[in-house]
Structure 1
Amino acid sequence: RRLCRHSRRGDESLQGELEALVHDVVKASSWWERHGVDCAILALSLLAVPAGLFCLRFENVLVFALGITILGVSHYTLTVKGSHLATHGALTESKRWSKIWELFFLEVCTGFTAEYANYGHVKMRHGYTNVIGMGDSSTWRLPCLNRYVYMFLAPFLIPIITPLVALKRLRDVEVWTALRTLGLISLGLYSHYWLLLNVSGFKSPRSALACMFATRSLLAHPYLHVNIFQHIGLPMFSLDKKPLRVHMLSLGVLNLPRSPVLDWAFGHSIVSCHVEHHFFPRLSDNMCLKVKPVVSHFLQEKQLPYNEDSYLARFRLFLSCYEELMVHTPPITELVGLQ
């Protein structure tokens, strides 16, 4: 018991030391660095939508493909980056505006329920990172699929599955919340469909729906891959034997290299600064990038893991070890002396 208390005090001391270092960086940063950069990216993505819709009016294949690309990247920037930042309240310091942006990005743009996203992502995945049965990313496992179907074909189902899962979750919320969510999801989906018919000039509902699917699945593959690469395959813990917070996060989270497209569409906190994001989830993407040298240096100085790997290396790992990582229950990591 004394050893446990000593370990906990040591963990709190490490956390406090790191928080003080990061707090100094945040305090010295301007509003533009804390929130403005990411708000500008989201605004530009929203403003790019009319250009994408207009490109779809042309019969030229290259111009049409440009329209699909603009709409697809804009869609993922609003739904992944926007929803992620809004869920964590990282877009603004106002609680009221945080809730408004959360409903807009999650329910209108993404077609998913804000309440369940907050519970599943913030409370479970962040609260119990890599704890078996709680924050172990098990929602991404589909044991019925083989490795090639999962890695190459399953991502195409994401635009279809997302609103269906949201509808299923409506049974677990209050009636007013369910009606609000249903209305906002319907508004988002119908607006997309209406714009394709009336602005882009699609002649049939089938062609408009096909275009919706194409834009909403444009970056579905890296979206699924990134979500599994950064946690699955790293140490997993049981609830009663999980290490203390600093060790749990340094062991159970991984950064991928920077990528211009993914950094823009998904955000630094999901791609190249995922470790920093788990330590400081309320920081914006730009601030995660700014504090990255501080966090990496601190962990390495304290001889704690700072996990980084390439997208290609993780892809090869998941193809070669798919059964172990994605089908069977992962083994629990025993960390003697850290509990």
Structure 2
Amino acid sequence: MTQQNREKADLDFLAGKRMRRTRQAAWSRAMVQETDLTVRDLIWPLFILDGENSRESIATMPGVERLSIDLAVEAAKEARDLGIPSLALFPCTQNDRRTEDGRESYNPDNLMCRALRAIKAEVPDIGLIADVALDPYTSHGHDGLMDGEVILNDESVAVLIKQALNQAKAGADIIAPSDMMDGRIGALREALDNEGYENVILLSYAAKFASAFYGPFRDAVGSGARLKGDKKTYQLEPFNRAEALREVEQDLLEAADWVMVKPGMAYLDIVREVKDQFDVPVFAYQVSGEYAQIEFAAAAGALDRQAAMMESLIAFKRAGCSGILTYFAMDVARLLQK
């Protein structure tokens, strides 16, 4: 058969090929579905508040609340019963405990550590992820220590080590540095191992971008109004893809177990490239602004909340995520149970 005849035969075959055949029924669509979203893919972020039997709504994050530790324990029980495997905790530190040096971060009785101990005691079979960064503890709202307008890298890492050890002692299963200081992954791994916490997982926010989508989160932890300037000297430029991959590679070389891309929805191309290039567990954070977009648009009648919620999370899985931090976790878990 000549090349021309072969090409004609291929065209004739394609002319008779109907791609829609497998889409005609729910059962056939299910048989060829390429991506699954399950409860075990979900990580639920919780904001912790001081006090007892207290909850506070967050105006910029409809449906999300800060919870006192006792209510967070009850929330953890509900999450476990729904099959959610882990929680990510973020403290809203009391105003009088925020200082220039962030020393409250390594106070063994700080809000984060008390929450870790309380949840681990009552719900030992749910994983606890502890955020490592100084912005919930500093009076200036930055993730590291400052000298004037300059973020001090190595001095910040020294404090982050104290913070991480503090959290590991309190019961954190996963230490998740979100600060983006250079060299902190290797330093944290060495410190954890030396103190007998070699089984604590390091989940690095390896590709964290200086994003406009963090605003509601900063409101939730009380750092937004305090923030002096921006975080562009340590977080990634949204323009840069190759730099993000170099950051991921560096953190893996320093012994990160898992890596995170943040934000998620606007950076799914980075998630896919990290997964394809390094083939390691990749997580992404559907951050506060991404969550708020869907909530406010749904409230305005611009879209179907449930459909948009599910479609957004399926996109994370399709891009290659092993897990997703999302404020929709409980709603999705209930929906999947049905």
TM interval, short-chain normalised: under 0.3
Q: Which has the higher strand share?
A: 2
TM-score, normalising length: structure 1: 0.22
Structure with more helix by fraction: 1
With normalisation by structure 2, the TM-score equals 0.22
Q: Which one has more relative contact order, counting CA pairs under 8 Å at least 6 apart?
A: 1
